[in-house]
Amino acid sequence: MRIYNLLKDFLLPKEVLYLQDDDSFNLALRDLEANNILAIDTEFIWRNTYFPKLSLIQISTYKKIYIIDCITLNISELEKIFINKKILKIFHSIRGDISVLSNCLGFKIENIFDTQLAEDILSQRKGAQISYKKLVKKYFFKDISKSETNSDWERRPLKKKQVDYAAEDVRYLHSIMEIQKNKLISSNKIDSFYLACHQEKKLGEEDFSISRLRRFQKKNKNISKKEIEVFNWRENQAKKLNVPPSHIIEDKNLKQLQKVMEKKDLNECKWIIKKDSSRDDFINFFL
């Protein structure tokens, strides 16, 4: 099977099209709408902001790979493809991509297939979370480069190797999905798989503040109601200013702020809350 997949990839290579203008994007939309199965991935920058900045959306059909430049194009028309229940959308590790598409663009995504989740269920290793690179190696006997994982996706023009890297992330998903789906059906695991996909989708659609609070509570047992109030206030500040929450208050100082609130010690706020505007807002809100 691996040799067959490798030969198919070699003999029938997919055409890669990098879209940066409206005319080529509109042509691509018509082609995408005509397909009933698409493979999707995203590239984004998430360093010094609250919301990630989407750089690329890669969408593969059986014949073509479209690299859609989200910085130069208005991509709102893509939503009709994402919400179309007649089109299956293949992802590898859907939670991250859906989180970005949902929180940054407000997109809802219907009818999904997660190849990472499928492999976890087939291998019966819950939470194994196999990487895309290892999955391609398993099914195609091919090593793909991940050298551009931490690339600067905001720079323009993109380097050729960045575009090539982005294309590789969706090139093999159709074939992997077909193999996994057949295995899931034959092992009577297809229903539990789709239920797991639905659960992952719901987690991906959560507001960032909800998922961040859940992680914070998991790391810090028995946190008080006041700490949660401060945590949520910090999230709202970070959203408003579009900065990481740690730029408002570091996690380690959240408990200290509870003591500040109890003592009404405004001087303590000066070193804990670094931004003047946020400090004033905190005092007005809590004190």
159 and 215 fall within a common domain: no
Q: Taking 90 as the threshold, does the pLDDT of residue 22 lie above it?
A: yes
CB 66 within 8 A of CB 58: yes
Number of domains in the chain: 2
Mean pLDDT of the chain: 90
pLDDT band at 182; cut points 50, 70, 90: very high
Looking at residue 2, its pLDDT comes to: 59
Mean per-residue pLDDT, 16-23? 96
140 and 221 fall within a common domain: no
Looking at residue 114, its pLDDT comes to: 98
59 and 194 fall within a common domain: yes
63 and 157 fall within a common domain: yes
Detail the DSSP E strand segments found in the chain. 15-19, 37-45, 53-60, 64-69, 88-91, 112-114
Return the SS3 of 67.
strand
179 and 219 fall within a common domain: no
119 and 46 fall within a common domain: yes
Mean per-residue pLDDT, 171-178? 95
193 and 153 fall within a common domain: yes
Residue that is last in its domain, among 171, 206, 241: 206
69 Cβ contact list (under 8 Å, min separation 6) = 18, 19, 20, 55, 56
52 and 107 fall within a common domain: yes
135 and 183 fall within a common domain: yes
Residue that is last in its domain, among 206, 237, 263: 206
Could you report the per-residue pLDDT of 191-241, keeping only the tens digit for each? 999 999 999 999 999 999 999 999 999 888 888 888 899 899 999 999 999
Q: Taking 70 as the threshold, does the pLDDT of residue 159 lie above it?
A: yes
More confident position, 260 or 73: 73
Looking at residue 149, its pLDDT comes to: 77
Per the structure, the complete domain to which residue 50 belongs is given by 2-206
153 and 277 fall within a common domain: no
Looking at residue 221, its pLDDT comes to: 82
Token pair in block for residue 245? 């929450």
131 and 55 fall within a common domain: yes
pLDDT band at 118; cut points 50, 70, 90: very high
Query: At 103, which CATH number?
Result: 3.30.420.10
115 and 38 fall within a common domain: yes
More confident position, 61 or 266: 61
